[in-house]
């Protein structure tokens, strides 16, 4: 009898949360004319219907605004920044405008599973101390249903606090490298998004995680499009590894996080060997050597890691035009075969 009463109270508590909380979907966009239509369509096709869709344009110079205005759904609200605020600044603008208790972000070139908002909303209803709901995800090139790369996959949903195992905390942080599919309870978003490339979303995720708990959904609720941003040489002017290192160092300055900080540096930041290929293809040779040196400085044990040498020597010796073709071949012909079961669900007749 006692267990039944406890269960009933818990269910009533969750019903109370659900009846009060509203959801805002935010699409920060800059020059997204080629992709934003599909992104909007994937949100409007959600099985969860009660939300506002905020599209915050960051001074686009293409046809983005006209495409957004072509939609007539009254849940859509378009906001225009007078000047480009940077990615982090636009995320911050979305946060300020959002009227919901839950704020869900998705980039203007990514696609949401039809049950994405339902899964996120239900996760928040499990407890009032959940500040973040995040997810695993995969990348696609042309075919939405063909994964060419994927993040860590999970067998079940995980609830994570900053005091949990270092590996669980690392998973939450590692999944914040992409904007899409991450949601916050707005009352816990007391911090400002960083405007430093690579770590805009991660800066907020870490800050909120230190105060609350996060849920990692086991489902791939978003598909991330491989786009042109990673091909822009300007993004490699500053080291991605050092940018992440500085963020971790800033967010975990307290002495109680000393061991966690060391773990994250050695087991997350200094393990990004794949990043060397991107720098070789789209950066400079000096930037490539710089990143290799950081891999050794941050984790000297890498000199005994065969993978480190394969990526380092391969990136140095293989000509860029050959390496880029090898990457495309591997993703589309090899990796996609092993990732064949990873996909999102979309409504029938999706184009």
pLDDT tens track, the chain, 351 positions = 444 444 444 444 444 444 568 999 999 999 999 999 999 999 999 999 999 999 999 999 999 999 999 999 999 999 999 999 999 999 999 999 999 999 999 999 999 999 999 999 999 999 999 999 999 999 999 899 999 999 999 999 999 999 999 999 999 999 999 999 999 999 999 999 999 999 999 999 999 999 999 999 999 999 999 975 555 666 788 999 999 999 999 999 999 999 999 999 999 999 999 999 989 988 999 999 999 999 999 999 999 999 999 999 999 999 988 998 888 888 888 888 889 889 999 976 665
**Six token digits for residue 26:** 């935010």
Rg of the chain, C-alpha, whole Å: 21
φ, ψ for residue 336 (rounded to 5)? -60, -30
Residue 149 CA to residue 160 CA, distance in Å, equals: 25
What's the residue count for the chain? 351
Burial of 248 (0-12, 13-18, 19+ CB in 10 A): buried
C-alpha torsion sign, points 274, 236, 36, 102? positive
The reported pTM is 0.91
Query: Which segments of the chain are extended strands (E)?
Result: 23-29, 51-57, 76-80, 102-105, 111-112, 130-140, 147-150, 158-161, 182-185, 213-225
Structural domains of the chain, ranges and CATH numbers in brackets = 2-227 (3.90.550.10), 231-318 (no CATH)
φ, ψ for residue 298 (rounded to 5)? -80, -25
Residue 237 CA to residue 284 CA, distance in Å, equals: 9
Three-state DSSP state, 329: helix
- Residues 157 and 125 sit within 8 Å (Cβ to Cβ): no
φ, ψ for residue 82 (rounded to 5)? -65, -30
**Per-residue DSSP letters for 53-103?**
EEEEE-S-SSSHHHHHHT---TTEEEEE-SS--HHHHHHHHHHHH--SSEE
- Residues 281 and 318 sit within 8 Å (Cβ to Cβ): no
**Six token digits for residue 13:** 């508590």
- Residues 60 and 27 sit within 8 Å (Cβ to Cβ): no
Q: Show the CA angle centred on residue 93, arms to residues 246 and 89, nearest 5°.
A: 35
> What's the pLDDT at 321?
86
Residues with Cβ within 8 Å of residue 34, at least 6 apart in sequence: 109
Residue 339 CA to residue 328 CA, distance in Å, equals: 15
Distances (CA, A) of 45 to 55, 66, 88, 99, 182: 16, 21, 27, 21, 18
Three-state DSSP state, 142: coil
Residues with Cβ within 8 Å of residue 268, at least 6 apart in sequence: 170, 173, 174, 244
Query: How many CB atoms sit inside 10 A of residue 345's CB?
Result: 14
């Amino acid at each position: 009898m006692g267990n039944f009463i406890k269960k009933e109270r818990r269910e009533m508590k969750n019903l109370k949360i659900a009846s009060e909380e509203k959801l805002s979907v935010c699409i920060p966009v800059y020059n997204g004319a080629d992709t934003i239509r599909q992104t909007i369509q994937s949100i409007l096709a959600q099985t969860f219907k009660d939300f506002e869709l905020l599209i915050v344009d960051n001074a686009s110079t293409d046809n983005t605004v006209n495409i957004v205005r072509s939609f007539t759904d009254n849940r859509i609200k378009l906001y225009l920044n007078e000047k480009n605020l940077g990615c982090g600044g636009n995320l911050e603008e979305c946060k300020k405008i959002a009227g919901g208790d839950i704020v869900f972000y998705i980039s203007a070139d990514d696609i949401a599973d039809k049950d994405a908002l339902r899964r996120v909303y239900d996760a928040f209803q499990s407890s009032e101390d959940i500040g973040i709901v995040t997810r695993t995800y995969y990348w696609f090139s042309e075919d939405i249903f063909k994964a060419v790369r994927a993040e860590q996959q999970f067998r079940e949903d995980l609830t994570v606090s900053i005091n949990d195992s270092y590996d669980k905390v690392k998973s939450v942080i590692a999944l914040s490298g992409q904007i899409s599919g991450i949601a916050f309870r707005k009352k816990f978003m007391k911090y400002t998004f960083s405007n430093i490339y690579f770590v805009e979303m991660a800066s907020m995720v870490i800050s909120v995680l230190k105060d609350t708990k996060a849920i990692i959904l086991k489902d791939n609720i978003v598909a991330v499009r491989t786009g042109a941003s990673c091909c822009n040489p300007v993004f490699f002017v500053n080291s991605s590894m050092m940018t992440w290192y500085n963020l971790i160092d800033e967010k975990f300055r307290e002495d109680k996080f000393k061991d966690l900080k060391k773990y994250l540096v050695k087991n997350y930041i200094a393990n990004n060997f794949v990043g060397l290929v991107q720098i070789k293809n789209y950066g400079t040779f000096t930037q490539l050597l710089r990143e290799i040196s950081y891999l050794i400085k941050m984790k000297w044990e890498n000199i005994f890691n065969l993978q480190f040498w394969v990526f380092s020597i391969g990136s140095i010796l293989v000509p860029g035009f050959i390496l880029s073709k090898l990457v495309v071949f591997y993703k589309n012909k090899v990796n996609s075969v092993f990732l064949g079961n990873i996909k999102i669900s979309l409504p029938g007749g999706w184009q």
